[in-house]
Chain A
Amino acid sequence: MTVLHEPVDGAVRAFFAAIGRTARLVGAALAGFPAVLTRRDCRHTFARQLFIVGIGTLAVATVVALFTGMILSLQLGIAFRQLSLEGMVSTTMSYAMLREMGPFMTGIILAACVGSAMAAQLGTMTVNDEIAALEMMSVDPVRFLVVPRLWAMTLMAPILSFYTCILAFLGGALVGYTQLNIPFLQFIQGVLDAAEMKDLYVGLLKAAVFGILVSGISCSVGFATTQGAAGVGASTRRAVIYSFLAILIGGYFITRCFYVL
């Protein structure tokens, strides 16, 4: 399948070829959504991927979100206290978490926890010629392996993003109550007052896009794995790095699309 294997010489050409291969893979996976609903094997894989993406990262997401919120609240509190504007901590946290930090943290967690595993798994299957075996059995590897993973991460990423935002608000409110003398409910009310529908749903959209990017890059890098076990390790590392870069660059352009100075 040309989507999976496309030998290219030269770093620049390889880079652009990887981008193009990933884009085609993502397009094919997005188009294969009906298979998730109609094919039993896809549904099973999809459900398993939902569990891996959602429940498997829940503990990490909880700790990261809680402490990120606490750190953010503490630092903002220290800064705003000099201006006697402690009440702005909740407002600033609402903007920061819903617009950027929530989706960004979710993307990072998914890339580190799930994307790396995807790249390693698909890379191992590739070097072991399992992908080739699937193709020989007329099983489309994209539909069988990529579609459930991509759609599971795409659908679960916004949910995880909102979950991290809520936990970050709770962590921030906890620090606000204990360190900044801001009543807990007042902090939450400040978050709700500052929250805007656009921020919330653009953030969720951003998280979904990050899910597509992380799963697409991880699957693409996994399929492009060569040179045995060492290649699997390198692919895992590359998948994480490329995912981080894609999250940062994609995040800017999404923000640029929805927020104009």
Chain B
Amino acid sequence: MSAKSQSRLPDLLTGLFVLAVVALLAFFTIVISGVDILRGRHDVLREARFESVGTLRAQDPVTVRGMKVGTVQSLCLAQDHVIVTFSIDANVPLRADAHAVVASTSVLGGSALALDQGASPEPLPEGAVLPGRAPNDVMDELGQLLSDLRQSFDPADVRTLIVNLRGASANLADITGRIRSGEGLLGQLLNDDAPLATDLEATVANLRQASASLNDPDTTLGALLAKDSTLVTDLQTTAANLRDVSQRLTDGQGLLGKLLAEDDKTYEDLQATLANLNAATAALNNPNAPLGKLIGGDSTLIADLEATAANLRAITQKTNDGQGTLGKLVNDQALADEAEAAIKDVRQIIDNMRDTAPITSFTSLFFGGL
């Protein structure tokens, strides 16, 4: 390295340092002036009108939904209002019904201009002044509250209140002492060795197990709680059927419906029928009645009935075999036809006699009288 180069080295280093810091300063200046080079943010100026701005000051943040999107640039007092000029990220949309509120950033003080973007489909026109809502003065409200409290409470009442509070405090100390020493329900609950705590733990374990069962779709209740359970479908169907039945009962349809209806006719009929049934069953139970004898196991009647049945069986057997007149009548078609013809002849004869009977009688009377 030549002597000339060495003599220029300090100047070179100084120049590089100065240029680097100045470039950094320029970048810093651009960033804090509102233009975000990295994100392409560019701020625009807007105005809001307030009747009062409270503790809002220049350089306070402008927020949308809690996010900082700009800075309050200036506040200008007009005749009966304050115009707040603020910068805001141009990419933050504001609607025609947007408005501004002065919000407190902390209890200790500090304000921010909170913007409501609005819901109107129309965008906020360029140069439009946002309506501003007056801030809530926390200290003023607190002072008003204290004043109200002071007016509401008589000093004597305050003293009574203090005495009561002291008593309550003493009671609380006593209660906490008892709890700490394991007395009472709460004390036992807080004492790990108490049987109540053990029982409670066991109960909780059981409840946990029960809830696990409820979550298990293989169990009945779990199946009930499952969305796609067939059991639920069946229950729903059954419920629908019950609803239909109850509707029919309410409408007085069917026997049960009629019984439940206000009209007592069916009930009275049923009652009469039941009375008749009672009489019939009483008769059946009467050993002197024929059916009572049968039910009562009367041997004579049963024997007679058996004998009669045997005779009837023999008669019907003979009839089927064509024995006797009746059997022949039943089994022999020609005989049956002859018998029918004979019956017809007899009927004819009887009819003739019926027709001639008056004449015969009159003639007999006439000739008898002669």
Q: Chain A: residues with CB nearer than 8 A to chain B?
A: 47-48, 50-51, 54-55, 58, 156, 159-160, 162-163, 166, 192-193, 195-197, 200, 204
> Per-residue CB proximity of B162-193 to A under 8 Å, as 1/0?
00000000000000000000000000000000
In the bound complex, residues from chain A placing their C-beta under 8 Å from that of B18 are 50, 54, 156, 159
In the complex, chain B residues 10-26 whose Cβ is within 8 Å of any chain A Cβ: 10-11, 13-14, 17-18, 21-22, 24-25
In the bound complex, residues from chain A placing their C-beta under 8 Å from that of B17 are 54-55, 58, 159
9 tightest A-B CB contacts, nearest first: A51-B10, A195-B32, A159-B21, A51-B14, A50-B14, A55-B13, A162-B25, A47-B11, A163-B21
Among B14, B24, B33, the residue within 8 A (CB) of A162 is: B24
Whether, in the assembled complex, B29 has its beta carbon less than 8 Å from a beta carbon of chain A, the answer is yes
Complex: A132 Cα to B21 Cα, angstroms: 39
Among B13, B22, B24, B28, the residue within 8 A (CB) of A195 is: B28
In the bound complex, residues from chain A placing their C-beta under 8 Å from that of B24 are 162-163, 166
Complex: A163 Cα to B32 Cα, angstroms: 17
Contact B10–A55 (Cβ < 8 Å): yes
Among B14, B29, B31, the residue within 8 A (CB) of A54 is: B14
Whether, in the assembled complex, B46 has its beta carbon less than 8 Å from a beta carbon of chain A, the answer is no
Complex: A51 Cα to B14 Cα, angstroms: 5
Q: Can you report 27 residue pairs joining A to B where beta carbons are below 8 Å apart?
A: A47-B11, A48-B10, A50-B11, A50-B18, A51-B11, A51-B14, A54-B14, A54-B18, A55-B10, A55-B13, A55-B17, A58-B17, A156-B18, A159-B17, A159-B25, A160-B21, A162-B21, A162-B28, A192-B32, A193-B68, A195-B28, A195-B31, A196-B59, A197-B32, A197-B33, A200-B28, A200-B29
Q: Which residue of A lies closest to B25 (CB)?
A: A162
In the bound complex, residues from chain A placing their C-beta under 8 Å from that of B68 are 193
Complex: A51 Cα to B59 Cα, angstroms: 38
In the bound complex, residues from chain B placing their C-beta under 8 Å from that of A193 are 61, 68
Contact A55–B14 (Cβ < 8 Å): yes
Contact B10–A196 (Cβ < 8 Å): no
- When A and B form their complex, what is the total count of cross-chain residue pairs whose Cβ atoms lie within 8 Å? 51
Complex: A95 Cα to B339 Cα, angstroms: 141
**Interface SS of B by simple majority:** helix
Complex: A156 Cα to B15 Cα, angstroms: 11
Contact B21–A47 (Cβ < 8 Å): no
> Per-residue CB proximity of B1-17 to A under 8 Å, as 1/0?
00000000011011001
Complex: A50 Cα to B12 Cα, angstroms: 11
Complex: A103 Cα to B31 Cα, angstroms: 21
In the bound complex, residues from chain B placing their C-beta under 8 Å from that of A166 are 24, 28
- For chain B, give the interface size range: 10 to 19
Q: How far is the CB of A160 from chain B (nearest CB, A)?
A: 8
A159-B22 contact, Cβ under 8 Å, with A195-B28, A196-B32? yes
Given A50-B11, A51-B13; 14 other pairs, CB 8 A cutoff: A50-B18, A54-B18, A55-B13, A159-B17, A159-B21, A159-B22, A159-B25, A166-B24, A192-B28, A192-B31, A195-B28, A197-B29, A197-B33, A200-B29
Contact B14–A47 (Cβ < 8 Å): yes
Complex: A256 Cα to B25 Cα, angstroms: 24
In the bound complex, residues from chain A placing their C-beta under 8 Å from that of B29 are 197, 200
Complex: A195 Cα to B30 Cα, angstroms: 11
Complex: A55 Cα to B282 Cα, angstroms: 132
In the bound complex, residues from chain B placing their C-beta under 8 Å from that of A54 are 14, 17-18
Q: How far is the CB of B307 from chain A (nearest CB, A)?
A: 113
Complex: A50 Cα to B24 Cα, angstroms: 19
Q: Which residue of A lies closest to B32 (CB)?
A: A195
In the bound complex, residues from chain A placing their C-beta under 8 Å from that of B31 are 192, 195
In the bound complex, residues from chain B placing their C-beta under 8 Å from that of A197 are 29, 32-33
Q: Which residue of A lies closest to B31 (CB)?
A: A192
Q: How far is the CB of A101 from chain B (nearest CB, A)?
A: 16
Complex: A195 Cα to B25 Cα, angstroms: 12
Complex: A159 Cα to B59 Cα, angstroms: 25
In the bound complex, residues from chain B placing their C-beta under 8 Å from that of A47 are 10-11, 14
Complex: A204 Cα to B59 Cα, angstroms: 19
Q: How far is the CB of B355 from chain A (nearest CB, A)?
A: 133
In the bound complex, residues from chain A placing their C-beta under 8 Å from that of B33 are 197
Contact B11–A200 (Cβ < 8 Å): no
In the bound complex, residues from chain B placing their C-beta under 8 Å from that of A200 are 28-29, 32
Q: How far is the CB of A172 from chain B (nearest CB, A)?
A: 15
> Per-residue CB proximity of B90-101 to A under 8 Å, as 1/0?
000000000000
Complex: A118 Cα to B32 Cα, angstroms: 37
Q: Which of B11, B13, B32 has the most CB of A within 10 A?
A: B32
Q: Which residue of B lies closest to A204 (CB)?
A: B25
In the bound complex, residues from chain A placing their C-beta under 8 Å from that of B32 are 192, 195-197, 200
Complex: A166 Cα to B61 Cα, angstroms: 23
In the bound complex, residues from chain B placing their C-beta under 8 Å from that of A163 are 21, 24
Complex: A193 Cα to B70 Cα, angstroms: 9
